[in-house]
């Protein structure tokens, strides 16, 4: 565990003691922020849900929070909107471990419901919806809100190269800590603000985390499936980053749009040149509206 190379302003303690770091309590304020305040032409939205568990069939959302922000072409946040938070009665007791984790008790959610129309309108007003683990949040939101399908999603956990940027781990609280802040985690509103703060974070090259995220999210990509690949090339595929899909019984990987042609050549030379029963690769386009489903 190291905080030495995170490229952020974690303040040394008073007196210059380098063995001590000071963390600031996170307090994201509504209103214009930074250079070019308020002028960003794009609208992003950070969202987080708290649920009674992880089972999409049996469990339910108990809290949904979101906050919009404006950002400019450089990925700099220029204005932060007011927070939106709803709690919802799941119709059954909140499990003790979830109550301990989130601080939400049965009486906090009793008789309360998410305003479907307002929440859906809020989500649809954004160019991109961002969550810290969109594979989780997207499924819950699309299941709960009828009008929330087909939005462009990005993931602050998966689509920012935190390790490459000098951070350890990917958990929200730990990333925030390395950026010099702490918050009261595991409440939806607090986690939304934590993500916004991380997106504002400037790396050593001056780019923000949001800029990295938007660039990676906007890149079209392709799921390549080595359909019919012979077993003899499985280790070759694995070493190139392909993964086995048990359901479809194919090796697959995701490549950027500009890597597709190179991948086709590689497959032709290394996989399909030797495989008598090969059927040939398939390519499925992936975009922000189809990721994390």
Partner DNA sequence: GGTTCTCTCGGCACAGTGTC
Partner DNA sequence: GACACTGTGCCGAGAGAACC
| Calpha distance 156→159 (Å, rounded) | 6
In whole angstroms, how far apart are CA 91 and each of 57, 70, 71, 113, 191? 14, 36, 39, 11, 24
Provide the β-strand partners of residue 17: 13
Mask: binding to DNA, 191-220, rule CB under 7 A, as x and -? x-----------------------------
**Smallest distance, Å, CB 18 to DNA?**
25
Q: Which is nearer to DNA, 64 or 151 (CB)?
A: 64
Q: What phi and psi values does residue 199 have, to the nearest 5 degrees?
A: -65, -30
**Smallest distance, Å, CB 256 to DNA?**
15
Binding residue (CB under 7 A) for DNA from 125, 232, 289, 290: 232
Buried/exposed 19-47: b ≥16 CB within 10 Å, e otherwise: eeeeeeebebeeeebbeeeeebeeebbbb
Give strand ranges (E) for 27-60: 31-32, 42-51
**Smallest distance, Å, CB 151 to DNA?**
18
Touching DNA, residues 246-285 (CB under 7 A): 246, 249
247's CB contacts (< 8 A; 6+ apart) are none
The SS3 of residue 122 is helix
In whole angstroms, how far apart are CA 75 and each of 182, 203, 212, 214? 23, 12, 8, 7
Binding residue (CB under 7 A) for DNA from 45, 49, 76, 224: 49
Q: Judged by CB under 7 A, which stretch of 9-17, 49-57, 66-74, 263-271 contacts DNA?
A: 49-57
Binding residue (CB under 7 A) for DNA from 55, 107, 146, 205: 55
The site that binds DNA (CB under 7 A) totals a number of residues, namely 33
Touching DNA, residues 91-150 (CB under 7 A): 97-98, 101-102, 132-133, 135-136
Residue numbers at the binding site for DNA (CB under 7 A): 48-51, 53-55, 97-98, 101-102, 132-133, 135-136, 157, 169-172, 174, 186, 191, 230-232, 234, 238, 241, 243-244, 246, 249
């Amino acid at each position: 565990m190291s905080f030495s190379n995170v490229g952020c302003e974690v303040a040394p303690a008073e007196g210059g003691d380098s063995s001590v770091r000071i963390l600031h309590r996170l307090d994201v304020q509504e209103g214009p922020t930074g250079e070019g305040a308020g002028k960003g032409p794009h609208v992003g939205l950070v969202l987080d849900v708290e649920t009674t568990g992880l089972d999409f069939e049996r469990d339910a959302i108990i809290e949904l929070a979101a906050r919009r922000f404006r950002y400019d072409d450089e990925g700099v946040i220029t204005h932060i909107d007011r927070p939106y938070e709803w709690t919802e009665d799941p119709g059954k007791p909140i499990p003790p471990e979830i109550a301990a984790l989130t601080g939400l008790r049965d009486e906090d959610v009793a008789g309360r419901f998410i305003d479907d129309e307002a929440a859906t309108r809020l989500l649809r007003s954004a160019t991109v919806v961002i969550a810290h683990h969109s594979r989780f949040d997207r499924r819950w939101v699309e299941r709960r809100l009828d009008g929330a399908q087909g939005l462009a999603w990005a993931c602050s956990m998966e689509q920012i190269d935190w390790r490459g940027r000098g951070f350890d781990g990917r958990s929200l609280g730990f990333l925030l800590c390395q950026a010099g802040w702490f918050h009261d985690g595991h409440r939806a509103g607090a986690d939304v603000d934590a993500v916004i703060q991380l997106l504002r974070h400037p790396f050593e090259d001056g780019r923000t985390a949001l800029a990295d995220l938007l660039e990676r999210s906007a890149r079209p990509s392709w799921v390549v499936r080595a359909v019919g690949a012979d077993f003899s090339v499985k280790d070759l595929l694995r070493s190139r980053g392909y993964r086995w899909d048990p359901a479809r019984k194919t090796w697959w990987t995701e490549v950027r749009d500009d890597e597709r042609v190179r991948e086709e050549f590689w497959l032709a030379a290394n996989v399909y040149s030797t495989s008598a029963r090969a059927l040939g690769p398939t390519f499925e386009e992936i975009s922000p509206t189809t990721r994390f489903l």
